[in-house]
A and B are shown apart, each in its own frame.
Chain A
Amino acid sequence: MARVMEELDRVNESATSSAVFLAVEGLSMTFESPSRSGGDSLTVLDGLDLTVAPGEFVTIIGPSGCGKTTLLNCVAGLSTPTGGTMYLDGVELRGPGPDRAVVFQQASLLPWRTVARNVAYGLELRRELRRAEIAERVRRAIELVGLKGFEHHYPHQISGGMQQRVNLARALVVEPKLVLMDEPFGALDALTREMLQDELSALAGSVQRATLFVTHDIEEAVFLGDRVVAMSRAPGRIIANIRVPFERPRSRDVGDLPEFKEIVKELRRLLRPVTADVDATTKED
């Protein structure tokens, strides 16, 4: 017990210090097998530590099934971890909160609401603002993501890329301290993805707001992140923590710099599955 208290103090200390905004300590997640007859339980996260500085854009990359989405869900408060603690700005996180907003993997828009009403959804649920204020904030958010003129369209009337813009606007409009993004561009075509990456990079550069961005695309992770956190296969551990030394907002040309290519190469080497190496050696024989 004393040890736990000690640890809590230590985390509190680090969380309140200026350099740490989000502190994740010893996060564990084990999914019990659904059958009662003692099937194997699955440990997705095992004592994961992670910190995010104020205003920092951290990208998390790893093979599918490494628990990066689980990590995001835990920080979002949508999943309850089986172990560990999380602090945001010195406050312990338990469940969803007004300080965080999630940009979901699928746009997950409510099909019976127009673009504007979808963006307003979070603000309406929070019941903090008057109608006129909500309308004004929604108008600005829609303009920010470049959807002016589409306010009254229904989700089925706009493209997948535009739906993701609505998804983004819906999260940003509540002005969260921490934005959590779960592979938001994964399902888009390459051109739309690049365009949205550029815009997100510009947006994130203009506001001091911390972002946790999960992806399985190495170039995307390096292009967007101030720091790239690489995770191993389940149970997910952090295997690399690479600072990306370019100023934000970044132009596409960053991708041509040798340092950029070096980081991408290093990450690719780290994330290459062990089995692939085995295959390579057997082929050489």
Chain B
Amino acid sequence: MSAGLQRALTDRGPRAYLRGRRRVAETTVLRRRTRVLLGVAGIVIVLGAWEAAYRLGVVSKVTGSSPSQIGVAARVLVQHHLLFPAIWSSTKLFLIGFSLCVGIGLVVGLVLGWYRRLHAVFDPWVTMLYAAPRLALIPLVVVWVGIGVEAQVVIVFLVGVFPMIINTMAGVMAMDRTHFRVARSFLATNKDVLLTVALPGALPFIISGIRQTLVLSLTGVVVAEYFLGETGVGGLIFKSGQVLETGQAFVGVAIFCFAAVVLTIALGVVEKRFDKWRG
């Protein structure tokens, strides 16, 4: 026993050295219903405070907006047949861009994770491009591809593809050596190992990659629509902002938020299906 501890025990009585320390409490486990209620309450309180701030003039009526004003703006946009065509245009761009990110990212990630020499050659490039502000390439994309839908797809792809490549690659490379030996002892071919060991093992990584790519693809859609042609919901936000129609701009923002939440939940459902085997 150390001298200090000995003194603490004898001078100030047992456990004196523990006094005045905040000890960790029992972890609180909330029921699902409680969690949902608290979440909804949080949203309602924030929106209510915002509405109140707008009506009381805390927020400028010219440049600011409020939940009710956003509702009005949405109705106006629908009446002028502006909202749904914009949503459809953005949806198309997202679906094409996101699919390309996932498809090409998966194949590239598998190849780079599987062939160590290719990995050695291309890993610096992937790391560099992932770290670089790829939006700096927009002027070049305009020069090479123009400002049409193709250019927008290229932007979404550049913004979204890297997490897919990097996660898939990491998943394949993290293959369990003992599983590899089991497969080899049963005379597995390269293709067998890829399909029965590497790919299923990489699945959690791949899903994590899809999650990141999903969010980045949405960002890519907004950026592409801002800078190239001002189309879709992103274009709507951009044009509304320029003419101080903040309510309309917020409609666009709300749509993107909603899309992100819905897509993430959908991915969670898919993930659960593959997750039975994890303890």
Question: Is B184 on the interface with A (CB-CB < 8 A)?
Answer: yes
- Taking a contact as CB atoms under 8 Å apart, the answer to whether A78 and B181 are in contact is yes
Among A110, A124, A125, which residue has its beta carbon within 8 angstroms of that of B200? A110
A96 touches B179 (CB 8 A): no
Question: How many Å lie between the Cα of A112 and that of B207 in the bound state?
Answer: 15
Q: Which of A244-276 contact B (CB under 8 A)?
A: none
Is there a chain B Cβ closer than 8 Å to A150's Cβ?
Answer: no
A-B contacts counted at CB < 8 A amount to: 62
* CB closest chain-B residue, reference A105: B178
Asked whether, in the complex, the Cβ of B279 is within 8 Å of the Cβ of A157, the reply is yes
Query: Given A111-B277, A154-B277, A157-B279, are A125 and B179 also a contact pair (CB < 8 Å)?
Result: no
A51 located at the interface, meaning its Cβ lies under 8 Å from any Cβ of chain B in the complex: no
- As a 0/1 sequence over residues 238 to 279 of chain B, the CB contacts with chain A under 8 angstroms (1 = contact) are 000000000000000000000000000000000000001111
In the complex, what distance in Å separates the CA atom of A256 from the CA atom of B250?
A: 84
Count of B interface residues, CB-CB < 8 Å: 21
Minimum C-beta distance from B171 to chain A (A): 13
Tell me the complex Cα distance, A157–B277, Å. Answer: 9
Other-chain residue from A98, A106, A154 in contact with B178 (beta carbon distance below 8 A): A106
Contact string, A138-175, partner B, CB cutoff 8 A, digits 1/0? 00000000000000001111000000000000100010
Distance (Å) between the CB of A135 and the closest chain B CB? 17
Q: Is the CB of A78 within 8 A of B178?
A: no
CA of A23 to CA of B277, assembled, Å = 42
Q: How far is the CB of A137 from chain B (nearest CB, A)?
A: 14
Interface check A76, CB cutoff 8 A: yes
> Does A96 contact B185, Cβ atoms closer than 8 Å?
yes
Interface range, A side = 20 to 34
CB-based contact A125/B188 at 8 Å: yes
What per-residue 1/0 map shows which CB atoms of A115-131 lie under 8 Å from chain B? 00000011011100000
Does B186 sit at the interface, judged by CB under 8 A?
Answer: yes
A29 is an interface residue with CB less than 8 A from chain B: no
1/0 per position for A60-103, CB-CB distance to B under 8 A? 00000000000000001110000000000000000011101110
* Nearest B residue (CB) for A174: B186
Residue of A nearest to B275 (CB): A112
Known contacts: A121-B186, A126-B186, A126-B187. The answer to whether A112 contacts B200 by CB under 8 A is: yes
- List A contacts of B203 (CB < 8 A): 112
- How far apart sit A38 and B182, CA to CA, in the bound complex (Å)? 33
A96 partner residues in chain B, CB cutoff 8 A:
184-187
Do A97 and B276 touch (CB < 8 A)? no
Contact, CB under 8 Å: A110 / B185: no
Q: Shortest beta-carbon distance, A208 to chain B, in Å?
A: 22
- CB-nearest residue of chain B to A79: B181
Q: Are A112 and B277 in contact (CB under 8 A)?
A: yes
Q: Which residues of A contact B150 (CB under 8 A)?
A: none
Chain B residues closer than 8 Å to A98, beta-carbon distance: 187
Q: Mark B179-205, 1 if CB is under 8 A from A, else 0.
A: 101111111100010001100110100
Bound form: Cα–Cα A104–B186 in Å: 12
Interface positions of B from 24 to 53, Cβ below 8 Å from A: none
B window 186-243: CB within 8 A of A: 186-188, 192, 196-197, 200-201, 203
User: Shortest CB–CB separation between residue A42 and chain B, in angstroms?
Assistant: 20
Nearest opposing residue in chain A for B197, CB measure: A110
- Chain A contacts of B176 at CB under 8 A? 108
Query: In the complex, which residues 156-178 of chain B have their Cβ closer than 8 Å to any Cβ of chain A?
Result: 176, 178
Q: A102 CA to B180 CA in the complex, in Å? A: 13
Cβ of B196 and Cβ of A121 under 8 Å apart? yes
Are the C-beta atoms of A156 and B185 separated by less than 8 Å?
A: no
Q: Is there an interface contact between A110 and B196, defined as CB atoms closer than 8 Å?
A: yes
Are A125 and B183 touching (Cβ within 8 A)?
yes
Known: A104-B181, A106-B178, A125-B196. A111 touches B278 (CB 8 A): yes
Alpha-carbon separation in the docked complex, A227 to B186 (Å):
27
B271 to chain A, nearest CB (A): 14
Cβ–Cβ contact B192 & A125, under 8 A: yes
Residues of B within 8 A of A97 (CB): 187
Cross-interface CB contact of B187 among A108, A125, A154, A170, cutoff 8 Å: A125
**CA–CA, A77 to B186, complex, Å?**
11
- Which residues of chain A are within 8 angstroms of B185 by Cβ–Cβ distance? 76-78, 96, 100-102, 122
Q: Which residues of B contact A121 (CB under 8 A)?
A: 182, 186, 196
Extra 8 A-B pairs, beta carbons < 8 Å, given A110-B196, A111-B278:
A76-B185, A104-B181, A108-B176, A108-B182, A110-B197, A121-B186, A125-B196, A126-B186
Q: Can you list 12 A-B contacts (CB < 8 A)? A: A76-B185, A97-B187, A108-B179, A110-B182, A111-B278, A112-B277, A113-B277, A122-B186, A125-B183, A126-B186, A154-B276, A155-B277
